[in-house]
Amino acid sequence: MPGPMPTLPFPRSGLPTPALVLDRAALARNIGRMAAFAAARGIALRPHAKTHKSAAIGRLQVAAGAAGLCCAKLGEAEALAAEGLSGLHLTSPVVAPGAVARLIALHRRSAGLSVVADHPDNVRALAAANAGGGPLAVLVDVDPGTHRTGVASAEAAVALAGEIAGAGTLRLAGVQYYCGSLQHIQGFAARLAAVAERTDYLRTVLAALRAAGHEIALVTGGGTGSFAIDAELGVLTELQVGSYVFLDREYGDCEPGAGDAPLFEPALFLDATVISANAAGMATVDAGLKALATDAGPPVVVAGAPAASRYLFMGDEHGAIVAEEGEPPALGARVTLQPGHCDPTVNLHDAYHLLDGETVVEIWPVTARGRST
């Protein structure tokens, strides 16, 4: 926990900065809207915990009906399982021998664990490591064309499914298909067309698997950019949405879908303090690239500065608030920023500071912060 903290509850203005703040009511609305949408469409939810890395937020998602949580890394799953969460699904292959041993150990203590695979050598290693245990659920990861992970063809999917089904100590649990590169296509029509085209390919893979005699009940994937399209297309049976809980600037820039698709609202912010104000038209805040991830560009200035203000990264621990019109914030003033990309920004912080209005009411640890192994 960074620095000594006042006793809860305390005013937001007393929070040491830079501080990750989370609007509790907005978070609850976002979780509720996605849960209601999925329930109405009869599609399962297994929200991606890589966004929040938080046992507390995961519990809220499960309480709202989620089947479990997705994890990007084994370390994330270990951390969330230690907090009592179950139904954890690993969305990347677990390959190194030490990691495979940890996965099997986790499988033996955490109910409903599943993992993807995309290579027969990995399937054989998982099968051998799980000898003597209850079957481990393994999904065939199918590459949608980004070449990040996944088998490269329907033929490879069928061959891998055969390896899994025939391994004895594994259970063929379904297919994963995550079109990551399509999630941030800003125009809705273009995003719809791209996801529909890639879903046609998924249909051919599923048809080949079923023709080979494999029952594929679970088809998991999708994200905050595509979930409504995925639900409409009706091929995925489970959504791995993550960022909807916070809605960062990157997703906020995307045109939402039509129909009954819920709208989400920004819930995650970073509070910063002006520590220098000697230059005309700008002020320097105490939040730089160790408090805000840079990969999706700068955060949005949402409060504490004139409406047209912009944030510029100024190194590890500094940012400039540039006021295009009006007076920049004064020395000591508080400025609120909306992160460009929520997932890696959260991973920089040890804690969420929960806001009820302008009062900090709870502090939640970022349970799996830094758990990248």
Per CB under 8 A, contacts with its own copies among 32-71 are 50
Q: What is the DSSP string of 105-170?
A: HHHHHSTT-EEEE--HHHHHHHHHHTTTSPPEEEEEEB--SS-SSSBSSHHHHHHHHHHHHTSSSE
90/261 with CB nearer its own copies: 90
Q: Give the integer Cα–Cα distance in Å for 310 and 301.
A: 6
- CB 344 → its own copies: shortest distance, Å? 5
- CB 42 → its own copies: shortest distance, Å? 30
Q: How crowded is the C-beta side of 344, counted as CA atoms within 13 Å?
A: 13
Residue 335's H or E segment, with its range, is strand 334-338
359 binds its own copies (CB under 8 A): no
* Cβ–Cβ < 8 Å for 46, 34: no
Q: Which residues pair with 239 in a beta bridge?
A: 45, 221
Which tokens sit at 130?
């799980």
Q: What is the DSSP string of 167-179?
A: SSSEEEEEEEE--
**Given 8, 40, 63, 96, the residue binding its own copies (CB under 8 A):** 96
- CB 334 → its own copies: shortest distance, Å? 8
321 binds its own copies (CB under 8 A): no
157/195 with CB nearer its own copies: 157
User: Which parts of 244-283 interact with its own copies (CB under 8 A)?
Assistant: 273-279, 282
320 binds its own copies (CB under 8 A): yes
User: Which parts of 13-32 interact with its own copies (CB under 8 A)?
Assistant: 14, 16-19
Number of residues that bind its own copies (CB under 8 A): 75
User: Which parts of 136-165 interact with its own copies (CB under 8 A)?
Assistant: 143, 146-152, 156
> If DSSP codes are grouped into helix, strand and coil, which group holds residue 302?
strand
Nearest Cα to Cα of residue 355 among 15, 34, 84, 100: 15
Q: Mask 276-295, x = binds its own copies (CB under 8 A)?
A: xxxx--x-x-xx-xxx-xxx
186 binds its own copies (CB under 8 A): no
180 binds its own copies (CB under 8 A): yes
99/208 with CB nearer its own copies: 99
Residue 283's H or E segment, with its range, is strand 282-285
- CB 62 → its own copies: shortest distance, Å? 22
Which tokens sit at 228?
């409504």
DSSP state of 97: H
**Given 121, 215, 255, 324, the residue binding its own copies (CB under 8 A):** 121
Q: Give the integer Cα–Cα distance in Å for 17 and 122.
A: 45
Which tokens sit at 280?
């005309």
Among the listed ranges 33-41, 196-204, 298-306, 363-371, the one in contact with its own copies (CB under 8 A) is 363-371
**Given 347, 352, 353, 355, the residue binding its own copies (CB under 8 A):** 347
**Given 107, 191, 349, 353, the residue binding its own copies (CB under 8 A):** 349
